[in-house]
Amino acid sequence: MAQKYVVRLDEDQDTTLELREEGGVIWVRREGEANPWRRVALERVGDSSLYLVMIDSRPIELYLDRRRGGAIVTIGRHVFNYDVGPWRPSGGHARAGGRDAGVRRIVAPMTGSIVEVRCTAGQRVSRGDVLLVVESMKMNNELRSPADGVVEQVGVTAGQKVKQGDLLVALGRGESA
């Protein structure tokens, strides 16, 4: 029997995933679509946050920062802040993860240095806007807003060193969001 989870990337974008295990093999698919079941394996590389995901024998490298209620996933220069919660029957499913009064915490996906801060407290931002740039392993990574909202707090300054999981920006919904 498959287990179901609600995965939320944005306030209004939920996806229900079904997972099942057969003979030690994990299979995943999106519910409600004609998507086939896909064989998935996740393997950590050493003691780092680097993981290798195999989807139907196709490898994908990603950095995974597990946190309560979800994960922050970095693939190349793209950062995804996922919340995960149990699926609930009868049309209403649990909110994936939890946010204090609509505040979204954007944390460092990796250890590095803040190169540039492109937002200020009180500033209205749109989904995809670059909030700041983090240098890690000689690569500049743009961290983008996961949703429309208002910057409530900027917790870093240019030149500051950060560790994976440190709070960078707190993003609120704003009055009209």
CATH assignment of 100-172?
2.40.50.100
Task: Say if CB 145 and CB 171 are below 8 A apart.
Answer: yes
Whole-number Å distance between alpha carbons of 12 and 139: 32
Per-residue pLDDT of the chain (177 residues; tens, 9 = 90+): 667 777 776 555 677 788 888 888 888 887 766 778 889 988 888 888 888 888 888 888 888 887 777 777 888 777 777 777 666 554 433 334 444 456 788 888 788 899 999 999 999 999 889 999 998 888 888 888 888 899 999 999 999 999 887 889 988 876 543
Task: Say if CB 100 and CB 167 are below 8 A apart.
Answer: no
Domain 3-86 indexed as CATH 3.40.50.2300: no
Closest CA to 105 of 61, 135, 143, 75: 143
Q: What residue spans define the domains of the chain?
A: 3-86, 100-172
